[in-house]
Amino acid sequence: MDRLPRDFYSQDTMTVARALLGQQLVRDLEGQRVSGRIVEVEAYDGQQDQASHARSGPTERNASMFGPPGHAYVYFIYGVHYCFNVVTEPRGKGAAALVRALEPVVGLDEMRARRGGRDGIALANGPAKLCYALGIDRALDGTDLVEGKALWIERDEAVPDAHVARGPRIGVRGDEWALNVQWRFWIDGNAYVSK
DNA sequence: CTCTCGATGCGCT
DNA sequence: GCGCATCGAGAGA
């Protein structure tokens, strides 16, 4: 399958978030493919978005958010977990889409091993869970998803509008607008969406 | 089933 | 020092 090109990621963040549904996130682990279809995504729209890590401008932690589109932004949270985003829009915007859940496709044994023997929907139905399943950590922050060899996204089956649901983002803080805006997208009825 | 809480690094105020 | 774009274990119903 073909990788999503740079132009895909440079579109506005909501368009990218919506269009990522159904596409396949692929990790190369020492030559072994581990991948899953993206079933849930959230949009974080730059410095004006009070729920975004970009709200206070560029810092050491969020630097890759302000870099060119089509790269990974991986952050460490609660002293325990990693979460994976794709950087969107032109350099300097500070926008990204958080991948929140995957439907495992290839490398199920590897995912089970990395998830401590957990299986089925528990493998990757949350933003930190999918990072454990695919072996994503801060070493992959800033990785190029278009040209890189460790992590990329392939075009898979498109999801029709009729199967896309949307709602407020999960677990965020911020002003009323940030709390209420419907920037979480998921595949309606898909069992692998986070709880 | 639902609810609460501990883990625990580190950027930001 | 505070609080975080989370997860999973444990308690109670």
User: Per-residue pLDDT tens for A133-190?
Assistant: 999 999 999 999 999 999 999 999 999 999 999 999 999 999 999 999 999 999 999 9
Identity at A176, one-letter amino acid code: E
Estimate in Å the CA A116 to C1' B7 gap, whole number.
Answer: 17
Whole-number pLDDT of residue A1: 82
What residues of chain A score a pLDDT lower than 50? none
Whole-number pLDDT of residue A183: 98
Whole-number pLDDT of residue A189: 96
Whole-number pLDDT of residue A102: 98
User: What backbone torsions phi and psi does residue A95 show, to the nearest 5 degrees?
Assistant: -110, 150
Estimate in Å the CA A60 to C1' B13 gap, whole number.
Answer: 16
Whether CB of A195 is under 7 Å from strand B: the answer is no
| Max CA distance (Å), chain A | 46
Which residues touch A58 (CB under 8 Å, ≥6 apart)? Answer: A65, A66, A94
- Give the residue from A49, A51, A70, A47 showing the smallest Cα distance to A59: A47
Estimate in Å the CA A182 to C1' B10 gap, whole number.
Answer: 30
Query: Per DSSP, which regions of A78-163 are E strands?
Result: 81-88, 95-106, 151-154
Whole-number pLDDT of residue A89: 98
Whether CB of A78 is under 7 Å from strand B: the answer is yes
> What nucleotides of chain C have any atom within 7 angstroms of a protein Cβ?
3-8
pTM more than 0.85? yes
Q: Measured between alpha carbons, how far is A152 from A166 in angstroms, rounded to an integer?
A: 25
A57-76 residues near strand B (Cβ < 7 Å) = 59-62, 76
